[in-house]
Structure 1
Amino acid sequence: MQHDVTATSAPRRQPNFSMTRRAGELVFVSGQMAFDEGFRIVGDDVTAQTRTCLENIVRQLSAASLGASDIVKTTVWLTRVEDFAAFDAAYGTFFGNVVLPARSTVRADLMVPGALVEIEATACHAGVRT
């Protein structure tokens, strides 16, 4: 069964897509940018924006009773290649001792002015992963 599991405290929704979708044991979180509650980009550097993106993902996952340790795959878009090292450090710090998800990272132009990073995630309950 598939359904939207969007967190109620999430930033205002973009039109025409679901923030999250469940498909069986998997939960897919749409790309998250460093939006605050007013749907404004926060953070002047990729470190702050990465942390906010990941916090937004975890907020979405909490509606499905999942957390950071349940993320199995992320896809990351960076606007500047030179931000990769700072992004990677912030990403590693965020996950701490959690087994890092598989990840793809690419450079891309993002749709929102001021956005330096966008991250989407796939998660599943820890008991289901192999």
Structure 2
Amino acid sequence: MTFHMIQGGPTPVAPFSHATECDGLVFVTGQMPDQPGSPGVLPEGIEAQTANVMANLSIVLEGLGLSLNDVVMTRVYLTRFKEDYATFNDVYKTYFRENRLPARTCVGVTGLAYDALVEIDLVVRRPSNIQL
């Protein structure tokens, strides 16, 4: 098993690795909607927060030689589920190729770090021809 911390990656909000890897599967820790170097500073609204979360996930993936095209499963956590679900989906789907959406679980939660509106974690399969 390999534990990854990505140089220049998002600042962890707790004691964890950006990702762990085992047998070709990469488990990416849930990312927050802040920007690297500005922990806890969040933009307003679900659209901007979703964009920041996806950017942070992409930074971690790129640091591992992967991309959103390699994602097989996402888990989404929304603090204002009823209010933000439809708008979140509109933004989220733009990050994946049409007809290539990963499996997904999306749940409403009572709170997230930094009082964020959204957090997303990933399960990714490393293509067999890419080794790190």
Pair in the same fold by TM > 0.5: yes
Please name the residue that 2:116 is paired with: 115
Shift of 1:16: 2.0
User: Which runs of structure 2 are paired with 1:56-67 in the superposition (5 Å)?
Assistant: 56-67=56-67
Equivalent-residue separation in structure 1 for 2:40 and 2:48 (angstroms) = 14
Give the number of aligned pairs. 127
Contact 2:25 2:125 in 1 (8 A): yes
**Over 6 Å off, 4+ runs:** none
Secondary structure class of the residue paired with 1:4 = strand
Deviation larger for 42-51 or 20-29:
42-51
What one-letter code is carried by the residue in structure 2 that aligns with 1:22? E
User: Which runs of structure 2 are paired with 1:50-129 in the superposition (5 Å)?
Assistant: 50-81=50-81, 82-97=83-98, 99-126=100-127
Distance verdict in 2 for CA 1:100–1:127, change over 3 Å: farther
Shift of 1:97: 3.5
Shift of 1:48: 1.1
Distance verdict in 2 for CA 1:64–1:98, change over 3 Å: farther
Deviation larger for 43-52 or 89-98:
89-98
Contact 1:51 1:94 in 2 (8 A): no
TM-score (norm 2): 0.87
Q: Which runs of no fewer than 5 residues in structure 1 stay unpaired?
A: none
Equivalent-residue separation in structure 2 for 1:55 and 1:126 (angstroms) = 21
TM-score (norm 1): 0.88
What one-letter code is carried by the residue in structure 1 that aligns with 2:86? A
Distance verdict in 2 for CA 1:98–1:34, change over 3 Å: farther
Equivalent-residue separation in structure 1 for 2:43 and 2:8 (angstroms) = 20
Deviation larger for 13-22 or 54-63:
13-22
Equivalent-residue separation in structure 2 for 1:98 and 1:61 (angstroms) = 21
Shift of 1:114: 3.5
What one-letter code is carried by the residue in structure 2 that aligns with 1:109? T
What one-letter code is carried by the residue in structure 1 that aligns with 2:101? L
Shift of 1:98: 6.6
What one-letter code is carried by the residue in structure 2 that aligns with 1:118? E
CA offsets, 1:69-116, max 9 Å, x none? 001100000001210000000001122437111000000022324410
Q: Which runs of no fewer than 5 residues in structure 2 stay unpaired?
A: none
